[in-house]
Structure 1
Amino acid sequence: MSRNQHITPHPRGWAVQPAGGQRASSVHRTQAEAIARGREIARNQESELLIHGRNGRIRARDSHGRDEFPPEG
């Protein structure tokens, strides 16, 4: 089962945390590093990447799930 990945502020920088997870799967110095790792995980799991700002609110989404309506052809 794929779990969405969240990029959230962390006391040591930025964390990649699976939805519903108690702990971060990884912590990075910069948000860009965390996004890169989170995107890699989301692609592998065909899930969604949710990027939070310093205030904790979601500021961007990046979907890597299966396309529900693939192009015909």
Structure 2
Amino acid sequence: MGKAQHVVRDPNDGWDVLGQGNSKATIHTDTKMEAIQKAREISQNQHSELIIHNLDGTVAQKENYGHDPNSPKDKN
């Protein structure tokens, strides 16, 4: 499973996709929607989590594309 991908506001301009623990953006985009699309592709390919942040840095949404041990399917 790969690193979680975060969509965060770039302090200068636009939006960044950051791998968990990375200080440098993997991808920089002009819009939040572009960043979400790119981060979603990476998360799906790496079977990792996508974490989308609001302008103020709080978490707006999470999407999990990996193995979730708390999933009802996995408890059977």
Structure 2 unmatched ranges of 5 or more:
none
Matched letter for residue 61 of structure 2: A
Deviation of residue 37 (structure 1)? 0.1
Structure 2 CA distance for aligned equivalents of residues 27 and 67 of structure 1: 28
What are the residue-to-residue correspondences of 1:22-37 with 2, within 5 Å?
Answer: 22-37=23-38
The residue number in structure 2 matching 1:8 is 8
Among all aligned residue pairs of Structure 1 and Structure 2, give the percentage whose two residues are the same amino acid. Answer: 35
Structure 1 unmatched ranges of 5 or more:
none
Could you state the TM-score of these two structures normalised by the residue count of structure 1? 0.89
* Root-mean-square deviation over aligned CA pairs: 1.5
Name the SS of the counterpart of 1:66 in structure 2.
coil
The residue number in structure 2 matching 1:55 is 56
Question: Whose helix proportion is higher, 1 or 2?
Answer: 2
Q: Per-residue CA shift, 1:13-46, capped at 9, x if unaligned?
A: 0000000001000110100000000000000000
Matched letter for residue 32 of structure 1: M
Q: How many pairs are equivalent?
A: 71
Conserved 8 A contact 1:15-1:28: yes
Could you state the TM-score of these two structures normalised by the residue count of structure 2? 0.86
